[in-house]
């Protein structure tokens, strides 16, 4: 190799950990390694004009060159175990007649289109896994978990919700008895008398289906429906649909990837017990998919008919929910506008209390608050269709239409 092809490297002699700066040169038949001047011990320098000593000279064919991956240095391996490391890629490739970037990883690294496609492909794979594989695996694992284990999980979940979100029910004994009578009638019609359990808690209007068969009815729901048994039966039938399809357990498994992997790949569902620690947090932050909500709706329609009721009761319950949500939206908007015009600083504690009062006020005859406000309501319903104040549920109007269609069959 002539002077224009010389390259700098770090030299390891294979006998010690010492690193030496060297200059490599090569002809078509041999590679020569010389220490650079500042690396030569002064005792070894007899003549300042003398050339640096040769550390190694070997046939070119005996030097093994590592494959280059990206911008990593080349490693030149000598037959006696010595090693030269250099980042001068062009000089090495020229001296050893290598194709630049010959390694497949290097070629892909330099191909920006490949990087873009790889990222896009990874995104599609992750989306497919989240939307298809994980729910399917969760469904398979859910049906393999014993009912007793699921009930224990539901009990622990309710205990956690009691600590963080729910309060002791304040319903009168007569109200509790009326709801329980509806619940037991529906459970008998569904063949779930030995599976489902009814609980009452004080919270905003809602009903919850927990793993293992527990249905929680809130004081707010009873108040919103004014103890109308038709509406209560419709919502309870819907929650029984979630229990029948084990939607709560499936969502819990989907929210805990590690337990899902253990159950689906290893076939050992005992590890699912680890979910008990985080179950209340997971279930309070996760929502059913719209597909699950539709499944529960269809189950409710069938159960209402079987128990001598009508799916129209479900439509009426949805109308009451919609009226409450629209009432809250209108009053919150008015409240925020008043604060803006007054130029007041928002205190988050006061705001939570104010929104709680708004929700409370909309539980009593919410339809009255909507009279004469058709224009505002049309805009709110449009917003519901686009984004949704109950965005994890099917659009309320679609659910009402589905219930009415089921009633007409």
Residue 168 has pLDDT above 80, yes or no: yes
The CATH code of the domain that includes 48 is: 2.30.29
User: Do the Cβ atoms of 23 and 36 come closer than 8 Å?
Assistant: yes
Question: Does residue 368 share a domain with residue 230?
Answer: yes
User: Do the Cβ atoms of 384 and 391 come closer than 8 Å?
Assistant: no
Question: Does 117 fall in a domain?
Answer: no
Which residue range forms the structural domain that includes residue 216?
A: 126-408
What pLDDT sits at residue 51?
65
What pLDDT sits at residue 175?
96
What pLDDT sits at residue 265?
47
Last residue of a domain, one of 49, 71, 106: 106
Integer Cα distance of 301 and 303 in angstroms: 6
Question: Does residue 353 share a domain with residue 312?
Answer: yes
Q: At what angle do helices 247-254 and 229-244 cross, to 10 degrees?
A: 50
pLDDT-derived band at 406, boundaries 50, 70, 90: very high
Question: Does 352 fall in a domain?
Answer: yes
Question: Does residue 284 share a domain with residue 193?
Answer: yes
What is the bridge-based pairing of β-strands 83-86 and 7-12?
antiparallel
Six-digit token string for 387? 């984004």
Question: Comparing 77-91, 174-188, 341-355, which segment has the lowest mean pLDDT?
Answer: 341-355
Question: Does residue 172 share a domain with residue 44?
Answer: no
What pLDDT sits at residue 1?
44
Integer Cα distance of 148 and 226 in angstroms: 35
Question: Does residue 183 share a domain with residue 89?
Answer: no
Last residue of a domain, one of 46, 74, 106: 106
Give the total number of structural domains in the chain: 2
Integer Cα distance of 169 and 203 in angstroms: 8
What pLDDT sits at residue 389?
40
Question: Does residue 389 share a domain with residue 295?
Answer: yes
pTM above 0.75, yes or no: no
pLDDT-derived band at 113, boundaries 50, 70, 90: low
What pLDDT sits at residue 390?
45
Question: How far out from the chain centre does Cα 168 lie?
Answer: 32
Question: Does 355 fall in a domain?
Answer: yes
Question: pLDDT tens, 181-197?
Answer: 999 999 999 999 999 99
Question: Does residue 395 share a domain with residue 286?
Answer: yes
Residue 96 has pLDDT above 60, yes or no: yes
- Percent of the chain with pLDDT strictly greater than 70: 73
Question: Does residue 142 share a domain with residue 24?
Answer: no
User: Do the Cβ atoms of 299 and 238 come closer than 8 Å?
Assistant: yes
């Amino acid at each position: 190799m002539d002077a224009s092809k010389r390259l700098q490297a770090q030299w390891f002699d294979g006998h010690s950990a010492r690193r030496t700066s060297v200059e490599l040169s090569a002809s078509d038949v041999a590679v020569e390694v010389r220490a650079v001047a500042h690396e030569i011990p002064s005792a070894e320098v007899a003549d300042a004009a003398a050339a640096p000593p040769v550390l190694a000279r070997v046939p070119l064919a005996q030097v093994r060159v590592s494959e280059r991956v990206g911008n990593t240095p080349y490693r030149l391996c000598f037959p006696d175990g010595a090693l030269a490391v250099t980042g001068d890629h062009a000089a090495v490739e020229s001296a050893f007649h290598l194709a630049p970037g010959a390694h497949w990883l290097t070629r892909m690294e330099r191909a920006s289109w490949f990087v873009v496609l790889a990222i896009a492909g990874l995104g599609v794979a992750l989306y497919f896994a989240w939307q298809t594989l994980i729910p399917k695996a969760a469904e398979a694992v859910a049906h393999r978990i014993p009912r007793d284990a699921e009930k224990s999980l539901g009990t622990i979940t309710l205990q956690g919700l009691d600590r963080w979100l729910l309060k002791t029910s304040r319903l009168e004994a007569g109200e509790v008895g009326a709801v329980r009578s509806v619940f037991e009638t529906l459970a008998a019609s569904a063949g779930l008398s030995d599976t489902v359990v009814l609980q009452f808690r004080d919270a905003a209007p809602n009903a919850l289906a927990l793993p293992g068969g527990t249905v929680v009815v809130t004081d707010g729901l009873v108040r919103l429906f004014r103890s109308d048994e038709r509406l209560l039966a419709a919502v309870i039938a819907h929650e029984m649909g979630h229990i029948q399809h084990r939607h709560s357990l499936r969502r819990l498994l989907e929210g805990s990837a590690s337990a899902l992997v253990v159950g689906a790949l290893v076939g050992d569902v005992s590890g699912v017990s680890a979910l008990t620690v985080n179950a209340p947090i997971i279930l309070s932050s996760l929502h059913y998919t719209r597909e699950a909500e539709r499944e529960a709706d269809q189950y409710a329609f069938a159960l209402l008919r079987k128990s001598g009721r009508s799916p129209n009761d479900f439509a009426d319950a949805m109308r009451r929910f919609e009226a409450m949500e629209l009432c809250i939206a209108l009053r919150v908007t008015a409240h925020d506008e008043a604060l803006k015009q007054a130029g007041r600083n928002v205190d988050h504690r006061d705001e939570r209390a104010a929104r709680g009062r708004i929700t409370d006020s909309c539980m009593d005859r919410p339809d009255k608050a909507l009279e004469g406000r058709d224009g505002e309501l049309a805009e709110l319903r449009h917003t519901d269709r686009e984004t949704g104040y109950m965005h994890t549920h099917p659009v309320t109007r679609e659910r009402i239409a589905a219930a009415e269609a089921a009633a007409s069959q």
